[in-house]
Amino acid sequence: EVQLVESGGGLVRPGGSLRLSCAASGFTFSSYSMNWVRQAPGKGLEWVSSISSSSSYIFYADSLKGRFTISRDNAKNALYLQMNSLRAEDTAVYFCARTINDGYAEWGQGTLVTVSS
Amino acid sequence: SYEVTQSPSVSVSPGQTASITCSGDKLGDKHACWYQQKPGQSPVLVIYQDNKRPSGIPERFSGSNSGNTATLTISGTQAMDEADYYCQAWGSRVFGGGTKLTVL
């Protein structure tokens, strides 16, 4: 069974940093591109970042302006999102998702990040 | 950057056909996919590559994509289909704003 389990969310002050993790199991992690998608409270889905299977290709939403860094450790079956200079508007549930056949076929349950003083 | 737009809401009677559209410049030249999200749950992929259904998705879900518009069609809509639906333009990775489907 495919499982994606996010962790690392929590309450952080504006300007602070957080590192999210996504633990993957049930599939050959190193063969798939992975993604982060976020959803602010009561709002729609927003693509954040994507990374190819070997980390050769990395993409970010323009709105992040270099504050976030995606990475992966294929030996640990783990995906990461380092978030710096956090702002109130970064408050959201952050999902990791696996790419299969031009779609995000599996999603984790999400981890809530709250940016507030 | 590329953008896709969706109508905020669609209503349908049980058993009828629901059509949810997604518009973007030359969207038909890209692949579109669709996600269903129920309250408090993670999104679920229901259509990929314009018109393909993942395993486990009911046949009543279908999709098309041509010109500037991709369409998700739900035939014989059931109460359990009430949810938010999001389109995604593959390649640009951007999501539409979502459409709330109400089954009255």
Distance from C-alpha of B26 to C-alpha of B59, rounded to nearest angstrom: 27
Residues in B touching A103 (Cβ below 8 Å): 33, 45, 47-49, 54, 88, 90
First-to-last CA distance in chain A? 40
pLDDT digits (tens, 9 = 90+) for A24-51: 999 999 999 999 999 999 999 999 999 9
- Can you give the pLDDT at residue B42? 98
CA dihedral B73, B76, B81, B85 (to 10 degrees): 10
- Can you give the pLDDT at residue B92? 85
Question: B24 phi and psi, to 5 degrees?
Answer: -165, 155
DSSP summary character for residue A63: G
- Can you give the pLDDT at residue A46? 97
| pLDDT of residue A16 exceeding 90 | yes
Residue entry with tokens 């069974």 = A1
Cα-to-chain-centroid distance, residue B5: 11
| pLDDT of residue B15 exceeding 80 | yes
B54/A105 touch (CB, cutoff 8 Å), yes or no: yes
Residue of A nearest to B6 (CA): A44
Half-sphere exposure (Cβ direction) of A44: Cα atoms closer than 13 Å = 22
**Contact status of A112 with chain B (Cβ, < 8 Å):** no
Q: Taking residues B30-53, what's their average pLDDT? A: 97
